[in-house]
Amino acid sequence: MKHYTPAKPGTKLAGFHVLGEIGRGAASTIYLVQDQKNKQIWALKHVRKDGPKDQRFLDQAIAEYEVAGKIDSEHVRGIDRVIKSRQKLISIKELFLVMEYVDGVSVELHPPTTFEQALDIFLQTARGLSDIHSAGFVHADMKPNNVVICEDGTVKIIDLGQACPIGTVKERIQGTPDYIAPEQVHRRQITPKTDIYNFGATMYWVLTQQHIPTAMSNKSDSLVQGVDDSLIERPTPAIELNPRVPKALSDLINHCVEVDPDKRPMSMAKVVEILESVHNGLADGDDEAALDDSSVSESA
C-alpha cells in the first residue's frame, strides 16, 4: 500500500485551511479545518483509494454522506457535502466529507460519573437513534466511542460509516465485537432491533465497565465466524455488578440484549419511554431509583 503523508497544519486540503489532525481510520484521516471564505470550522474526512481493495472505503463514505443527508436530528452529526477527486476524469481516487465539527469527548474516553449524567446521555442517544430509524436507516455500529458529549451537554451520535437501510443483509460481517448483535455476525437482516442490541451493550459497559458476551468467537477478528446463538451466554445483570443501578434500568438492558430480536423492545421509541420513566424516578427520589453522586462504575 502506498505510504500516506498526512496534511500538516497550515496547509490547504480540498480548499480548506488545515488546523490539525483529529482522527484516523483504516483508509481515512479526519482533520479540523476552516473554510477560508466564511471562517467556519468543519471536520474534514479524507478517504483514500491506494489500491483496488480500498474501493469499499470510498463506497462506504459516499453511503455515509447519503444517509446523513436524510436524517434530521440534533443528536446525529451532520455531513454538509462530499468532494470527489477523480483519476483520469473517471474513477474516484479520493474524496472528502465535510462534516459538522463536534467539539466534545466520547463516552468511551470520558464515561459519566453519576447516574443522572448517564441517563441523560442514554436518553439523548436513544432519541438520536430513534430519529435515524424514522428516516429508514439503522446506525449498525452503536458503541461508546460513537457517542460524543459536547461542552454544553448535548449528545451527538457520530460515524454513519456502517449505517444502512432497514432490512439490509450485508455481505460482510460489520460491527464491533464487544457490542455486535447476533444478526450482524450471522449476516441476517439489519433492523432497528440491531441498534437496540448495540445500544443495550453500550449502556451495560457505561454502567459496569464490562462487556456483555456476544456472538463473536474471537474478539480480535471481526471477520471470524461467530458462535451459534444458543451458545451466547446471558450477561450478568448490571444490578448485580453495580447495586446502585436502578432495577428498571438493569431490566431494560437485559431486554435490549436478548439474542432473539423479537424478544427485544419493539422500538427505540419504547426504549426512550422506559428511560424517561427511570430518569423521572431519579428526579422524584423514588426509592428504587434514587442514587447518590458516586462514580457509576465504583462498585463494578
pLDDT digits (tens, 9 = 90+) for 26-67: 789 999 999 988 999 999 999 988 887 888 899 999 999 999
Give yes or no: residues 116 and 58 share one domain: no
Residue 296 lies in a domain: no
Last residue of a domain, one of 100, 135, 153: 100
Give the per-residue pLDDT at 157. Answer: 98
292 domain residue, yes or no: no
Structure confidence at residue 93 (pLDDT)? 85
Domain of 69 in residue numbering reads as 12-100
- What's the confidence (pLDDT) of residue 25? 81
Amino acid 189: pLDDT: 97
Q: Can you tell me whether residue 291 is helix, strand or coil? A: coil
CA–CA gap between residue 250 and residue 237 (Å, rounded): 6
Specify the pLDDT at position 220: 41
Domain of 183, CATH number, reads: 1.10.510.10
Judge whether 7 lies within some domain. Answer: no
The whole-number pLDDT of residue 145 equals 95
pLDDT digits (tens, 9 = 90+) for 122-145: 999 999 999 999 999 999 999 999
Does the pLDDT of residue 225 top 80, yes or no?
no
- In this structure, the strands spanning 137-138 and 164-165 are antiparallel
- 69 in the same domain as 89: yes
Domain assignment of residue 154, yes or no: yes
- The x, y and z cell numbers of residue 88, run together, are 483520469
Residues 202 and 260 both lie in one domain: yes
Residues 61 and 108 in one domain: no
Mean pLDDT, the chain, whole residue set:
88
Verify that 129 and 268 share a domain, yes or no: yes
pLDDT single digits (tens) 243-254? 989 999 999 999
Q: How many domains does the chain have?
A: 2
Is 290 a domain residue?
A: no
Tell me whether residue 289 is in a domain: no
**What DSSP character marks residue 6?**
P
Which residue has better confidence, 82 or 299? 82
- Determine if residue 33 is left, alpha or beta; phi over 0 gives left, psi from -120 to 50 gives alpha, anything else beta: beta
pLDDT at 294 over 70: no
A 10 A CB-CB count for 122 gives 28
Q: Which three cell numbers stand for residue 42?
A: 468543519
Distance of alpha carbon 292 from alpha carbon 283, whole angstroms: 12
Residue 295 lies in a domain: no
Are both 82 and 130 inside the same structural domain?
Answer: no
> Which tens digit of pLDDT belongs to each residue from 141-178?
999 999 999 999 999 999 999 999 999 999 889 999 99
How many CB atoms lie under 10 A from the CB of residue 154? 13
| CATH number of the domain residue 17 falls in | 3.30.200.20
127 and 70, same domain (yes or no):
no
**Quick one: which of 135, 133, 144 has its CA closest to 266?**
133
Q: What percent of the chain has pLDDT over 70?
A: 88
